[in-house]
Amino acid sequence: MASEIQNREDEILTSREAQEFLKIGRTKLWELTKSKQLPAYRVGSGRTSSLRYKKSELLAWLERNRVQA
């Protein structure tokens, strides 16, 4: 069970999946990535390259940006 949860956290997401997971738009995801607030990985090179995100790193980013009430 624990390894199953760990595997889900290590899941690699496409940009679209990352947007859906974070519930944000394409522009906001790009802004966060470009400003190096969100870690991303480039797959390919040149104009045909795309970005991938680790779900565990997105979860860590959410935790770091939690609003303290």
50-54/12-14 β-pairing: antiparallel
Domain boundaries, given as residue ranges, for the chain? 13-64
Please give the model's pTM, rounded to 2 decimal places: 0.81
pLDDT attached to residue 10:
82
21-29 mean pLDDT: 97
Range with the lowest mean pLDDT among 7-11, 38-42, 53-57? 7-11
Per-residue confidence (pLDDT) for residue 68, from 0 to 100: 87
For 1-14, what is each residue's pLDDT tens digit?
555 555 665 899 99
- How much of the chain exceeds pLDDT 90, in percent? 77
